[in-house]
Amino acid sequence: MVAVARIINATLVIPELDKRSFWQDSSNFSDVFDEDYFISALAYDVKVIKKLPKELATAPRAVKHFRSWSGIDYYQNEIASMWADYQVIRAAKSDSRLANNNLPPDIQKLRCRACYEALRFAPQIEAMGKLLVDRMRSYGPYIALHLRYEKDMLAFSGCTHDLSPAEAEELRMIRENTAYWKVKGIDSREQRAKGYCPLTPKEVGIFLMALGYPSSTPIYIAAGEIYGGDSHMADLQSRYPILMSKEKLASIDELEPFANHASQMAALDYIVSVESDLFIPSYSGNMARAVEGHRRFLGHRKTISPDRKALVHLFDKIERGSLKEGKNLSNKIIELHRKRQGSPRKRKGPISGTKGMDRFRSEEAFYVNPIPDCLCHKEPPDMNTSIIIR
């Protein structure tokens, strides 16, 4: 939205955060991010203000659903032309409204500046996040595991593998009763077979063991409340006893300012994840992808992205008894993930043969991999190898 404001020569009003989502979080932008720094950091690019001026309260305004993955022509022509009739344009949605590719370099660089320089967490969140990182480091090099096994994720995705009938029904009812979740009838087996489900805690344990991480490895669980609690975490806990979380690393009093604010608690997880020695997401959701992109920007910190579709095939063989944990499984999983570890590469374009919106949807998102726009290749003098610099 910063980039869009620049394209259409607009002043950007600090955005309102969604307060109607599953988590019912009342946080404002300034509760999560350093609002004053955001405004000052972008001052030479886009004018950003905290609130709509009073004199514009009754000005002609439009509510506009910007078209998904739109290029610069759409904004310069269709949207900018709206200034002839309106003084205020409210963007009804802000996700995926701008194309990933084929934009002017200055616009792409501005997106980088907004994501990785201007956006800082609020001071109290930064301080608590640093404290959590320091306490996690006291256990040694650690893995941050974004374990997306929370009630909202499972209900939304319809993923019920390894759950009891009662749990599956509870999740189905949540999905049925959440009006803004449009898809209701979901085949859980089909979802899982296609790789659309988050890995279960048990599956993550098998995955990490197969990759060769010893049971003494400290693991930080970046997540909200795990669905089913200890009963679903038992297998992972038995494999990796040093399972930590913000609730284990900090006291109730220390976390009290952030309690009951899901986005602020997620911000703490984000900080610990970005600073980890290895980041592994059990599902490629928005936060996981943002962390992956941020880690690339900071020097291609290692991120292993599980190939869920291939892994499910192997896990099912284990359940049927036709494959056992051990060297054979380990070799298969290591080979599957040899090129899924966050190494430097350009952002992937659309999948061949896709058309229309599906073509844009199949592209790797800008914030997942900000190369080559945020980082550049430079050939050092008298050397044949290229290095990555900011």
The predicted-structure confidence for 179-198, as pLDDT tens digits, reads as follows: 888 888 999 999 999 999 99
- Sign, CA dihedral 142-123-28-246, equals positive
Q: Crossing angle of helices 286-297/262-274, nearest 10°?
A: 40
Residue 135 burial by Cβ neighbours in a 10 Å radius (0-12, 13-18, 19+): middle
Structure confidence at residue 287 (pLDDT): 93
Residue 253 has pLDDT above 50, yes or no: yes
Q: What is the mean pLDDT of residues 370-390?
A: 62
Q: What is the mean pLDDT of residues 43-57?
A: 96
Residue 67 has pLDDT above 70, yes or no: yes
Average pLDDT over the chain, rounded to whole? 92
Residue 377 has pLDDT above 70, yes or no: no
Q: From CA 149, how far away is CA 354, in angstroms rounded?
A: 31
Q: From CA 183, how far away is CA 218, in angstroms rounded?
A: 38
In sequence order, what are the residues at sequence separation of 6 or more whose Cβ sits closer than 8 angstroms to the Cβ of residue 324?
Answer: 318
Does residue 9 contact residue 87 with C-beta atoms inside 8 Å? no
Structure confidence at residue 48 (pLDDT): 98
C-beta atoms surrounding 331 within 10 Å? 11
Give per-residue burial for 285-301: e unless 16+ CB within 10 Å, then b. eebbbbbbbbbbbeebb
Structure confidence at residue 384 (pLDDT): 46
Structure confidence at residue 275 (pLDDT): 98
Q: Which of the four pLDDT bands, split at 50, 70 and 90, describes residue 390?
A: very low
- DSSP code, position 254: H
Q: What is the mean pLDDT of residues 378-386?
A: 53
Q: For the chain, give the percent of residues with pLDDT over 90.
A: 80
Q: What is the mean pLDDT of residues 235-257?
A: 97
Q: What is the mean pLDDT of residues 129-133?
A: 98
Tell me, rounded to whole angstroms, the distance of Cα 11 from its chain centroid: 27
Could you give the C-alpha distances from 357 to 183, 204, 351, 362, 370, in angstroms and in order? 19, 33, 12, 9, 21
Structure confidence at residue 382 (pLDDT): 53
DSSP of 305-368, one letter per residue?
Answer: ---HHHHHHHHHHHHHTSS-TTHHHHHHHHHHTTT-S--S-PPP-PPTT--HHHHHHTSPPTTT
- Sign, CA dihedral 342-346-352-354, equals positive
